[in-house]
Structure 1
């Protein structure tokens, strides 16, 4: 006769095995980038390459012999990431750490100046870096822009537009904008791009912390920016696309998620949350797969085109571009 203690001990093991099988079954639907073409001689620039999706994207590119520029706010962390990759891939492509703070126009300008002095062309620019912070903290960029708007959109807007000539020299080349399907929850209010109203509501506790309008709005701006840039670069050989890595386990939400949230979200995490490596597959696909060369202005998820629920407005697209240019030139919020 089996004792009750043995039965009780077996139950957790059975549950763990069952959950593992469910996750394995679920992950079969998460596509992988099948292109494994050698990228020797090509230069990839990744913002935020020292951790999470950026790090896994860099690993995949280095494995394909690419030269990768790690554009990171903390150069020490970039060097640590490079050391880690070198241990795993001693014969991979060249890795170059460079300092870039997307929350500072001055830093962006210095970075671009150094890149242009050291590189004749950039084959692929991957706008990966992003922030997700509680709105109640009311954080700003160096120029005073709301942090999500200033980093996730405006910083990458400025960086990309200043690197366009290097991208054209590498034609056929690509810009990959890492967005999210959360862009479908965003809205663009040109009267309050810095979210003064939302921030006040958040400070007063009238907005749930999990509802981050700053992040969702910036992801919508990412897609509008991608569409506008794709139109402007049509015929130049520079493809511009956006993608959603999916719901991934990274440190993006480190300022908003507490330990008990992980327990509450465990069932969802098992079914839907990807690892950073799994999430990076779509980024690598957009950056390297030759089957989509010449395709521009599109949005991808799970290594295939995704149809957004947003009814994109050309007038909003053009206005966002114009306003962004004006804000960069003025160097201060409206």
Structure 2
């Protein structure tokens, strides 16, 4: 009888595997596109109560790392935090451009108060070795980190599929894998800065995303790759990973994990659009936010005193997803697929495997232990 029962269980598992979801259902897909179009058409009305620029609470005691802060939303986030008194670290691929920006900002700020407290550290999200080197350099300071803003991202519209030197699809690596690795490796610094926050700049486009944990690179199982598939799936993966990280961090760590939507924003992504689409993109400025308007949800998530309470409330209620702040700086609900707890845990495990960390990395780092990573080993060479 035991053998029969075992065979029956195996048959059930095989059957479940065959029925495994391969894509969004058409109703989910339509609902996702409705959310996206609705946000584009009405985001300015929904956010009409917000000031621009957004006034910030006192942030003089905050140390903030902002990735991708030489252009677009990231540049506005870094500048406004610095002008409000925060110590800002611009984590960027092009340090020269960052230093030029800082010089410009310091000149403009001259006579308005103390010099801006900004520094630059090199970080290339297309290299997981670079992420580990950055984290090691920061952690070696033994100082607190209060806010990590994972802002850097790519959306190579219309481009063919590309892979990083680490072997991962570029959207997935830059938008999800590298920020995930950075967030985990900086946990001990974030604990020192408690109460602290990890703010992931996400996108409403995650509503049309689908993640297959067994095919994060979108190379098999008959799935056709497009830049939209790459981008939307990377953003959904980020929400799923953030939701599990949110649950894995005990309340006593004092770390809040949340995602934000900046809205539909006029940024450098337009440079990858076809010429005719670029023209249309510029013809509808009323609907599309500028970078300063797009920075408001991230700044709100990074500084509002009630955000930490909201995140803890979700954790105590055992809500299946992390906090998600919309472009109008109000809590909103991620996509229906983001609520798929089983897939979220599969994405969590697969992500840790891909970024070279053991499955118990978070728990060990919380305990103060050192955790080996497959990347960054050549640093000592």
TM-score of Structure 1 vs Structure 2, range by shorter chain: 0.7 to 0.9
Asked if the contact 2:218/2:224 (under 8 Å) is kept, the reply is: no
Asked if the contact 2:135/2:182 (under 8 Å) is kept, the reply is: yes
Cα distance between partner residues in 2 of 1:238 and 1:28: 27
1:161 partner SS: helix
Deviation at 1:295, TM superposition (A): 2.3
Could you tell me which of 250, 253, 276 is aligned with 1:260?
Answer: 276
Q: CA distance change for structure 1 residues 266 and 250 in 2, over 3 Å: closer, same or farther?
A: closer
Deviation at 1:53, TM superposition (A): 0.5
- Is the deviation greater in 146-155 or in 226-235? 226-235
1:278 partner SS: helix
Residue aligning to 2:125: 102
Residue aligning to 1:323: 350
Cα distance between partner residues in 2 of 1:121 and 1:71: 16
Normalising by structure 1, we get a TM-score of 0.83
Q: Report whether the alignment pairs 1:132 with 2:152.
A: no
Could you tell me which of 234, 247, 261 is aligned with 1:244?
Answer: 261
Cα distance between partner residues in 2 of 1:131 and 1:34: 25
Cα distance between partner residues in 1 of 2:230 and 2:298: 23
Cα distance between partner residues in 1 of 2:100 and 2:222: 35
- Is the deviation greater in 300-309 or in 160-169? 300-309
Q: CA distance change for structure 1 residues 188 and 201 in 2, over 3 Å: closer, same or farther?
A: closer
Q: Report whether the alignment pairs 1:29 with 2:56.
A: no
Cα distance between partner residues in 2 of 1:144 and 1:249: 30
- Is the deviation greater in 290-299 or in 214-223? 290-299
Q: Report whether the alignment pairs 1:191 with 2:206.
A: no
Asked if the contact 1:73/1:100 (under 8 Å) is kept, the reply is: yes
Could you tell me which of 296, 299, 308 is aligned with 1:293?
Answer: 308
Deviation at 1:252, TM superposition (A): 2.5
The runs of 5 or more residues in structure 1 that have no matched partner are 1-21
Q: CA distance change for structure 1 residues 99 and 146 in 2, over 3 Å: closer, same or farther?
A: same
**Count of matched residue positions in the alignment of Structure 1 and Structure 2:** 302
Asked if the contact 1:128/1:177 (under 8 Å) is kept, the reply is: yes
Normalising by structure 2, we get a TM-score of 0.73
Deviation at 1:142, TM superposition (A): 1.9
Q: CA distance change for structure 1 residues 198 and 151 in 2, over 3 Å: closer, same or farther?
A: farther
1:187 partner SS: coil
RMSD: 2.6
Asked if the contact 2:245/2:257 (under 8 Å) is kept, the reply is: yes
Deviation at 1:233, TM superposition (A): 1.4
Cα distance between partner residues in 2 of 1:61 and 1:199: 45
Deviation at 1:76, TM superposition (A): 1.0
The runs of 5 or more residues in structure 2 that have no matched partner are 1-40, 312-321, 358-373, 376-381
Asked if the contact 2:265/2:290 (under 8 Å) is kept, the reply is: yes
Residue aligning to 1:83: 103
Asked if the contact 1:47/1:71 (under 8 Å) is kept, the reply is: yes
Deviation at 1:328, TM superposition (A): 1.6
Q: CA distance change for structure 1 residues 244 and 229 in 2, over 3 Å: closer, same or farther?
A: same
